[in-house]
Amino acid sequence: MKLNLQPRFLKRSRYLVAVLLRALLSIAIVSGIATAQGGALDKSEPKGISVQEVIKRFAAKEKEFKEARDQYTYRQDVKVIVPGVETPDPEYRQVFDVSFDDKGHRIKNVVFAPQPTIERGGIAMSEEDIDDIENRLPFVLTSDEIGEYDILYVGQQKQDELSTYVFDVTPKQIVGKKRYFQGRIWVDDHDFQIVETYGKTVPDIRKKKGQENLFPKFTTWREQIDGQYWFPTYTRAEDTLKFTIGDIKIREIIKYTNYRRFGSKSRITYEGQEVKKAEPNTDQKPPQPEKPQ
């Protein structure tokens, strides 16, 4: 998120600072990584399999998943708000369908995009924000990318009914303008696929003349689609961005719905077997986008 230093915002700065000071007094700064539904962390080594083999298996499965997801259409509903500054909360909202044209090229079709008001909250959406929302918040760590990260095994943990291996992931180095993920992932111990992600995209961007582009910590949950792969279905970010001139609280809610395998000639495989295309439900009407709340 970039600071919005428009004249209108500058006139409101004293009010915003007062709001932020009140918010700072009421917010407890919590370090470390945790999830609400997670069980106790068991730091013992995996049984019957080495840590390196777990990493090798889930990286291979993530590559399969990435290729499979590229053959699915879906709807993405994005809401970004700055809570507590004014009523209603300043927000950015967009609903779009990811599908394919008649030549099989992936396309984005915006179906709902009201005029954004988020700049009244003192920030603006940047190109990097949009790119992260569309391509990086559903974080995928494949065998092609795994060499770019340091991966530390931290234990095993129950996530609802799932048993998972837990890893901390950090980029080995920042190369050029490329963006990376830094945080924690939970890998299902049966399917060897990422089922939950917590962290942020890095690096934050701080330039001369006060130009800052900061990014919130987020959690992405996945669900199993078509009985095979775990697809991202919900992302939530609740964070305080620490700009030089002051802190701004941000909230993001991103939903991924209506996954449908595209009717192309390509084959999707899972453990060496072709994944059969789900039969379409001709009675189901396409979902309508929600109205802003």
pLDDT, tens digit (0-9, with 9 covering 90-100), for 144-170: 999 999 999 999 999 989 999 999 999
Task: Identify the residue with better confidence: 277 or 185.
Answer: 185
Task: Identify the residue with better confidence: 65 or 2.
Answer: 65
- Residue 104 banded pLDDT, cuts 50, 70, 90: confident
Cβ neighbours for 275, distance < 8 A, ≥ 6 positions apart: 68, 226, 228, 261, 268, 269
- Residue 81 is inside which H or E element, if any? strand 72-81
CA distance 186 to 253: 20
Task: Identify the residue with better confidence: 175 or 284.
Answer: 175
Neighbours of 76 (CB within 10 A): 21
pLDDT at res. 209: 72
- Partners of 86 in beta bridges: none
- Residue 38 banded pLDDT, cuts 50, 70, 90: confident
pTM summary value:
0.79
CA distance 118 to 11: 16
What ranges in the chain are assigned the alpha helix state H? 7-11, 13-26, 51-69, 127-135
Per-residue pLDDT at 284 exceeds 90: no
**Alpha carbon 215 to its chain's center:** 11
- Residue 7 banded pLDDT, cuts 50, 70, 90: very low
Q: pLDDT tens digits for 62-99?
A: 999 999 999 999 999 999 999 999 999 999 999 999 99
DSSP string, 216-278: --EEEEEEEETTTEEEEEEEEEEEEEEETTEEEEEEEEEEEEEEEE---S---EETTEEPPPP
Q: Is 170 exposed, middle or buried (0-12, 13-18, 19+ CB in 10 A)?
A: middle
Task: Identify the residue with better confidence: 71 or 18.
Answer: 71
* Residue 139 in tokens: 């974080």
CA distance 7 to 235: 33
pLDDT at res. 275: 52
| Helix%, strand%, coil% for the chain, nearest 5 | 20, 40, 40
**Alpha carbon 2 to its chain's center:** 18
Radius of gyration of the chain (CA): 21
User: For residues 10 and 129, is the Cβ–Cβ distance under 8 A?
Assistant: no
Mean per-residue pLDDT for 42-53?
97
Name which of 258, 217, 287, 252 is nearest 93 in CA terms.
252
**Alpha carbon 18 to its chain's center:** 31
Neighbours of 179 (CB within 10 A): 17
| Measured CA distances, 213 to 94, 153, 241, 282 (Å) | 20, 31, 9, 45
Q: Are strands 72-81 and 246-261 parallel, antiparallel or unpaired?
A: antiparallel
